[in-house]
Each structure stands twice: as C-alpha cells, then as structure tokens.
C-alpha cells in the first residue's frame, strides 16, 4: 500500500506514521516530493484496519497496491521517475541514445566507435567488456582491459558508459568504470545478481528476458527497488516468438503498457530485437513514436569485421542518418534528442 500525506503534513506527522508502520512490521520506502510525501509500505495488509492510518493527523489517504510489484507500480509514485546519469536525465523531455559496438574489441575500434556516436548525437556509449555468448568458443570480451578502454573513451568524448555485469564476482570491478550497470536479458531473473547490483549505488539498465512476460520483467525490477536503488531503466529488446526471420520480435506494445503500469523510464533496443541492420532505423523511429525515453543502438566502424553482432550493427553513415530522422520524430512527439542540435 501507499500512504499519501497531506500537502502541508509536518515532519512530526510524517514521523508518527513511519513509527506506527515500522512497529507493525511493515517495510518502509519514503518518497518526499516537492508537493507531498508518499510512504510505501510493504507487509501484512490484513493489519491495515487495526492501524487506522487514515485517522492520523497529516494523512490524506491510504491506497492499496493490488499488483504483485509494489515499488515499481505507477500507483507508488506521483509522476514518472527520472533517472540521473551524471548530468543526463533519462525519463524526462529529452530522449537519450546509447550507442556503440556490441563488444569492445580493441582500443582503436572503441575510440573510433565513440567518436562516431558522439559526433552524431549519442549521449551514452554502450560496449561489452564481458560478453555472455551462446557458444563457449565465441569471443567472450576483453574484460578489465575492455573496461579501461571504455574509461578512456569517456575521458576523450564525454560520453557516459553503459556496460554489462554478468557475475557478482566482477561487480566491484565493473562498477569502478561504468556509469550505468546493465543487466542483460539472460540475467533478468538472476535474482541474486539483481540484489547485489542494486547495492552498488549506480543506475541500472534492466533488459527484458527473451521469454519474459511484462509482469515478470517488472517483478525483476522490484528486486532492485526493494534493495533501495530506485534508479532503474527498463529496456525492451525483443522477445522470442515463432517468427524466425528476425532475431527476436520487438514488442513495442510493451512501451506504452509499461509506462502505464510503472513509473520507471523505458528505452528500446531495436538492434537486438531485429538482428538485421536495415530494419533498425524504422523500428527506432517507431519506438520513439510509441513513447520510449531512449534507445540502445549497436554501431561499429566496420560491421563486416565485427567479432560480435556485425549483421545488426549500423556503420557511421547509417547511424548519422538514423539520428537525423530521430530528431524529427522526437520533435513531433514534443520532445528533443540529446546532443542533437
């Protein structure tokens, strides 16, 4: 449930409610906005009547949250969450594009990629230093050396870094270099990893699993918020269906649905969803039209030479054309594209 405090509720009145809830065994999540304070309380709802919270001074109303996810629910927050990554705000009026190669292959490849995406208007650089691959014989990433290259690219371009965490054993190392910690589709329901990553104190990008329902996706996000980390960005990246022409099926219906059910920002990864570079641009435009707060796009200076996901990667010219078209779509939607004049 959530307890909505009155507009002018005093600190004393808020503290009294908090004490009463804690004494009754509820887990408390406090959200103090400019207009009012909202208290999220998770626990035995059968005790609500005995607490008589609505009779307490300063309490405006008590609202039960019926969904299995509580902190993620749109009922919990008065308005959408805006996740701050340095000076960037994801979930506001500006649409941010995270772009770069699937994998960090070399210093030269990454720095060239970073300059390409920065010049075209991306605000975050994506690149995998640790790569989860279906085959154990495929390129697994440069690991720490890849993280060092990402940090150098950030220093040279000013782009924020998004990279994936695969294992709690490497969490501290990855968090040392990354601005945003990515949980990949394969690990969406790795609940132990979700709890550990939540405590790292960094924004988290949570990709939807290939066979996951929207409710399962939101419950995965609930694990992170339940640990006290509210800076979660959801990423739709396609789901597995009977269709095999594309790599996955991009579920754009998830964008408005999740933005209705939850207060968290939602971005879309058309590259992994489609798996074919020529279809990335129309689906990226469609994602913005559907209300996405950002995009994650794979870009490689030489896709034909890529060690990972070359067929779905845009080259520099195609990415620049994409960003020009996204600028126009964002304007129609009453929004703007980050770093694109």
Q: What is the pLDDT of residues 139-163, one digit of tens each?
A: 667 889 999 999 999 999 999 999 9
| Whether pLDDT at 37 is above 90 | no
- Assess whether 29 and 158 both reside in one domain: no
Structural contact between residues 277 and 312, judged by C-beta atoms closer than 8 angstroms: yes
Structural contact between residues 71 and 225, judged by C-beta atoms closer than 8 angstroms: yes
Element (H, E) at 126: strand 124-126
| Whether pLDDT at 77 is above 60 | yes
- Assess whether 28 and 117 both reside in one domain: no
pLDDT at position 340 is 63
- Assess whether 51 and 119 both reside in one domain: no
Which CATH number characterizes residue 48's domain? 3.30.70.1140
Partnered with residue 239 across adjacent β-strands are 249
- Assess whether 97 and 243 both reside in one domain: yes
Give the chain's domain count.
2
What DSSP string runs through 202-230?
A: S-EEEEPPTT--HHHHHHHHHHHHHTT--
* CA–CA separation, 55 and 314 (whole Å): 60
Structural contact between residues 127 and 299, judged by C-beta atoms closer than 8 angstroms: no
Model-level pTM? 0.89
- Assess whether 14 and 131 both reside in one domain: no
Q: What is the pLDDT of residues 235-274, one digit of tens each?
A: 999 999 999 999 999 999 999 999 999 999 999 999 999 9
Lowest mean pLDDT among 100-114, 123-137, 205-219: 123-137
- The answer to whether residue 293 sits within a structural domain is yes
Which CATH number characterizes residue 176's domain? 3.20.20.70
- Assess whether 231 and 151 both reside in one domain: yes
pLDDT at position 137 is 61
Helices (H) and strands (E) in the chain, counts: 11, 15
- Assess whether 239 and 316 both reside in one domain: yes
| Burial call 49-72: b when 16+ CB within 10 Å, e when fewer | eebebeebebbeebeebebebbbb
| Whether pLDDT at 2 is above 90 | no
- Assess whether 89 and 158 both reside in one domain: yes
Domain hosting 259: range is 83-337
| Whether pLDDT at 233 is above 80 | yes
pLDDT at position 29 is 82
């Amino acid at each position: 449930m959530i307890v909505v405090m009155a507009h002018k509720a005093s600190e004393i009145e808020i503290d009294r409610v908090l004490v009463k809830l804690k004494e009754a065994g509820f887990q408390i999540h406090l959200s103090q906005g400019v207009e009012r304070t909202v208290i999220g309380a998770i626990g035995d709802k059968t005790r609500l009547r005995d607490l008589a919270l609505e009779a307490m001074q300063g309490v405006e109303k008590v609202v039960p949250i019926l969904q299995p996810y509580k902190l993620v629910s749109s009922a919990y927050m008065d308005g959408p969450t805006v996740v701050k990554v340095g000076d960037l705000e994801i979930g506001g009026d500006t649409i941010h594009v995270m772009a770069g190669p699937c994998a960090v292959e070399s210093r030269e490849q990454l720095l060239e990629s970073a300059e390409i995406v920065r010049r075209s208007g991306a605000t975050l650089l994506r690149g995998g230093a640790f790569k989860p691959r279906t085959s154990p014989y495929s390129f697994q990433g440069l690991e720490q050396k890849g993280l060092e290259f990402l940090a150098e690219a950030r220093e040279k371009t000013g782009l924020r870094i998004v990279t994936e965490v695969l294992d709690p054993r490497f969490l501290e190392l990855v968090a040392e270099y990354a601005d945003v910690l990515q949980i990949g589709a394969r690990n969406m329901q790795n609940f132990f990893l979700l709890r550990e990553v939540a405590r790292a104190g960094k924004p988290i990008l949570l990709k939807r699993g290939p066979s996951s329902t929207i409710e399962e996706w939101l419950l995965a996000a609930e694990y992170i918020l339940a640990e006290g980390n509210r800076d979660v960005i959801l990423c739709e990246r396609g789901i597995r269906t009977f269709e095999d022409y594309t790599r996955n099926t991009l579920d754009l219906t998830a964008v408005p649905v999740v933005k209705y059910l939850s207060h968290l920002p939602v971005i879309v990864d058309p590259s992994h969803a489609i798996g074919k570079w020529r279809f990335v641009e129309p689906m990226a435009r469609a994602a913005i039209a559907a209300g996405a707060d950002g995009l994650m796009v794979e870009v490689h200076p030489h896709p034909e030479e890529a060690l990972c996901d070359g067929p779905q990667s845009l080259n520099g010219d195609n990415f620049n054309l994409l960003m020009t078209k996204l600028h126009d779509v964002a304007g129609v939607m009453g929004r703007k594209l980050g770093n694109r004049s």
